[in-house]
């Protein structure tokens, strides 16, 4: 906008022409004002709470046969002594299985 005014001024444009250009630009700015983003004071509100399609995944988990097992849960895992019950737990900052001597229950 300022570039146009400077260019018109250099070419010798008259004062009424500059005034008309300025009035037109102010009119355009006032018409665009409702389209500008809302004030920062207005907060967006969610219409509905987000819904989960399934239970959220645990943050810490162990793997067993390609499945995630939550921390504190037991699973039947393969060991060198056959399938045994094991508890998924944490050792320092790593997830690990605590294998029991109990064999897996047969169904």
pTM value? 0.45
Confidence bin at 20 (pLDDT 50/70/90): confident
pLDDT confidence bin for 5, thresholds 50/70/90: low
Q: Residue 1: its pLDDT value, please?
A: 55
Tokens of 60: 């810490």
pLDDT tens sequence across 49-92: 666 666 666 578 899 888 888 899 999 999 998 899 999 999 88
Q: Given phi > 0 = left and psi -120 to 50 = alpha, else beta, which region is 10?
A: alpha
The predicted pLDDT at position 44 comes to 65
């Amino acid at each position: 906008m300022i570039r146009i005014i400077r260019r018109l001024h250099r070419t010798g444009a008259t004062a009424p022409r500059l005034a008309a250009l300025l009035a037109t630009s102010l009119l355009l700015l006032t018409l665009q004002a409702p389209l500008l983003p809302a004030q920062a004071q207005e907060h967006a509100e969610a219409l509905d709470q987000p819904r989960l399609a399934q239970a959220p995944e645990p943050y810490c988990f162990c793997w067993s046969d390609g499945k995630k097992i939550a921390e504190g849960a037991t699973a039947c895992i393969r060991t060198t002594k056959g399938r045994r019950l094991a508890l998924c737990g944490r050792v320092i900052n790593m997830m690990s299985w605590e294998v029991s001597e109990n064999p897996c229950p047969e169904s």
